């Protein structure tokens, strides 16, 4: 079996940016899109903060543009999820969900991260109709309205602070009697008069048929239930990097984010690079993902120019 010079795993902004750069460099990349082609952006409404789109763009339209640009330079786009890797040998070996095996000289892992959800049936039904996992993406649609944020970590604190600037009122629901967020973030939240925190409070249900109308909550200490009238529910209970298939070989942090050499996209395995949300617990923006995708392609190009063993 002959080996492919470069496989890009993931069809979000990081993967497609890597593909554009690699294709223009003549590396003939093959990009595999997973179960959510286009990545998290395709489940966002309007994207207004990606430079170059002066009037904004929908997430799916933007990802179509990314794909068309990558294909214009010869990227081959395929569908398939990588379920297993063997990075001990060279060329590297990838196994797809279709059981197809690929031999590759270099890999860019840009498989993204997935928001964690509460697991309520109404959450799926009302996704994009008031339920969101990204305040920066969707907060603007709740201008001057009341919203609920769930979570007690830095993401929930950050989302609450962002929404507090736009919304009439933000209810922050924390399931424990304290937040997990860093002290400085907690202080900012506590000081913000527009944020009302309820501790030991969990979401029981989301009320509304076609739009979020209210959030039914339970105070776990008193067992008292109540409904908070709100137009939006922001679930901020963490993200899960999609790094599972790579774990036997690739070094990750305690949350599962792929670790890269500072200032690069190089993982602990030579010729294997990581870009986008799978290696970024902090920024998680399309533009930062695209930036690391570009870095990964340039680094892969450099890697492929050297004889194996010289790195």
Known catalytic residues? 134, 137-138
Residue 220, burial from CB neighbour count under 10 angstroms (0-12, 13-18, 19+): middle
- Rounded least distance, CB 132 to ligand NDP, Å: 14
- Rounded least distance, CB 146 to ligand NDP, Å: 19
- Rounded least distance, CB 289 to ligand NDP, Å: 16
Q: Sign of the CA dihedral 151, 157, 162, 163?
A: positive
Is-cis flag, bond preceding 259, omega within 30?
Answer: no
- Rounded least distance, CB 161 to ligand NDP, Å: 10
Cβ-based nearer residue to ligand NDP, 25 or 218? 218
Outline where 130-282 has alpha helix (H).
Answer: 135-138, 154-166, 183-191
**Of 297, 262, 255, 301, nearest in space to 278 by CA:** 255
Cβ-based nearer residue to ligand NDP, 48 or 177? 177
Cβ-based nearer residue to ligand NDP, 43 or 120? 120
Residue nearest to ligand NDP (CB): 153
Residue 234, burial from CB neighbour count under 10 angstroms (0-12, 13-18, 19+): buried
Outline where the chain has alpha helix (H).
Answer: 13-24, 59-72, 121-125, 135-138, 154-166, 183-191, 286-305
- Rounded least distance, CB 172 to ligand NDP, Å: 11
Cβ-based nearer residue to ligand NDP, 56 or 153? 153
- What beta strand segments (E) does 21-100 contain? 30-33, 46-47, 57-58, 76-79, 82-86, 92-96
User: Where along the sequence are the contacts to ligand NDP (CB under 6 A)?
Assistant: 118, 150-156, 158, 175-176, 180, 237-239, 281-282
How far apart CA 229 and CA 5 sit, in angstroms, is 55
**Which residues are registered as beta bridge partners of 197?**
172
Cβ-based nearer residue to ligand NDP, 97 or 202? 202
């Amino acid at each position: 079996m002959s080996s492919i010079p470069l496989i890009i795993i993931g069809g979000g902004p990081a993967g497609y940016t890597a593909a554009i750069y690699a294709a223009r460099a003549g590396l003939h990349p093959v990009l595999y899109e997973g179960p959510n082609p286009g990545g998290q952006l395709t489940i966002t409404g309007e994207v207004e903060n990606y430079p170059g789109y002066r009037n904004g763009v929908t997430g799916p339209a933007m990802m179509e543009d990314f794909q068309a640009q990558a294909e214009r330079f010869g990227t081959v786009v395929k569908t398939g999820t990588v379920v297993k890797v063997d990075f001990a040998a060279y060329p590297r070996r990838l196994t797809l969900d279709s059981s197809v095996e690929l031999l590759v000289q270099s890999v860019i892992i840009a498989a993204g991260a997935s928001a964690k959800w509460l697991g309520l049936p109404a959450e799926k039904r009302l996704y994009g109709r008031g339920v969101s996992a990204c305040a920066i993406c969707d907060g603007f649609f709740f201008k001057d309205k009341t919203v609920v944020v769930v979570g007690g970590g830095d993401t929930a604190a950050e989302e609450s602070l962002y929404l507090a600037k736009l919304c009439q009122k933000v209810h922050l629901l924390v399931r424990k009697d304290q937040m997990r967020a860093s002290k400085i973030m907690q202080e900012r939240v506590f000081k913000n008069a527009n944020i009302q925190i309820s501790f030991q409070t969990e979401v029981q249900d989301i009320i509304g048929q076609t739009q979020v109308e209210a959030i039914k909550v339970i105070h776990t200490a008193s067992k008292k239930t109540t409904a908070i009238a709100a137009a939006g529910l922001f679930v901020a209970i963490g993200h899960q990097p999609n790094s599972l298939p790579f774990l036997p070989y690739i070094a990750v942090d305690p949350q599962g984010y792929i670790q890269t050499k500072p200032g690069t996209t190089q993982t602990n395995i030579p010729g294997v690079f990581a870009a986008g949300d799978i290696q970024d617990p902090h920024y998680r923006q399309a533009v930062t993902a695209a930036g690391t995708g570009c870095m990964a392609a340039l680094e892969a190009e450099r890697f492929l120019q050297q004889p194996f063993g010289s790195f």
